[in-house]
Structure 1
């Protein structure tokens, strides 16, 4: 049985806007990988529908790259998005990462859940830190989106 770890944060934006930030390439490219990593717009494929493909390339500061791939398995705007995600596109992507958006006073509660699979405790901690860095950049992108 799957054992999920979760990250939950409250964002000061309506959930429709948060959903846009995680599903539209022009916003996704800004936060995916954090400010330290470039995600070229032309490397993104985001066919946000059940069965649609996801592809992205991260260009790391050290000159290396990570090629990501996945598939959207649940799309319920603006409440939920579930997608597989792997940095090894030739292998099984595993269980989907879940993005749940709940409307709350003052904005949206975003909960990201991922199957721990065969991750060590250290890998889980690093993944949680990575997601928190993503969410920090999502917050910055939301502020920019709201302030035009």
Structure 2
């Protein structure tokens, strides 16, 4: 049985705009890197359709880099996205990360779920912290898009 860990946040933006922030390279490069990490726009490959490929490079402050890859499995704008995501290109990426966007009063509830797989409790907590940092930056992207 699959065990997921989940984060849920409400964003003050219409879900179409949140979906765009998640799936358009010019926005993705901002939040996926967070404020501390650079994701060069030219490193992104985002073929956002079922079977489409994803690639990105994170340049870390210490000079190291992380190569990410994945595949879009389900794309249902503006409500759902499922994509595999791994920092070990060439290895089995496992089950997809699930992004669900639901309309709520005041905006969009974004829920991100990922299979725990063989993560330790510490790895789960670190990944949750990473997703929360991503969502913090998605909020900033949305504010910039909306001119807030």
TM-score above 0.5: yes
What is the distance in 2 between the residues matched to 1:85 and 1:2? 17
**TM-score between the two structures when normalised by the length of structure 1:** 0.99
Structure 1 unaligned residues grouped into runs of 5+: none
Aligned residue runs from structure 1 range 1-148, under 5 A = 1-147=1-147
| Corresponding pairs, count | 148
What is the distance in 1 between the residues matched to 2:41 and 2:59? 12
What is the distance in 2 between the residues matched to 1:101 and 1:35? 24
What is the distance in 2 between the residues matched to 1:2 and 1:47? 27
What is the distance in 1 between the residues matched to 2:36 and 2:140? 14
What is the distance in 2 between the residues matched to 1:33 and 1:47? 19
After TM superposition, give the deviation of residue 90 of structure 1 in Å.
1.2
**TM-score between the two structures when normalised by the length of structure 2:** 0.99
What is the distance in 1 between the residues matched to 2:59 and 2:2? 31
Structure 2 unaligned residues grouped into runs of 5+: none
**Deviation by residue 1:87-131 (Cα, 9 ceiling, x = unmatched):** 000100000000000000100000000000000000000000000
After TM superposition, give the deviation of residue 33 of structure 1 in Å.
2.4
What is the distance in 2 between the residues matched to 1:127 and 1:55? 19
Q: CA RMSD in A?
A: 0.7
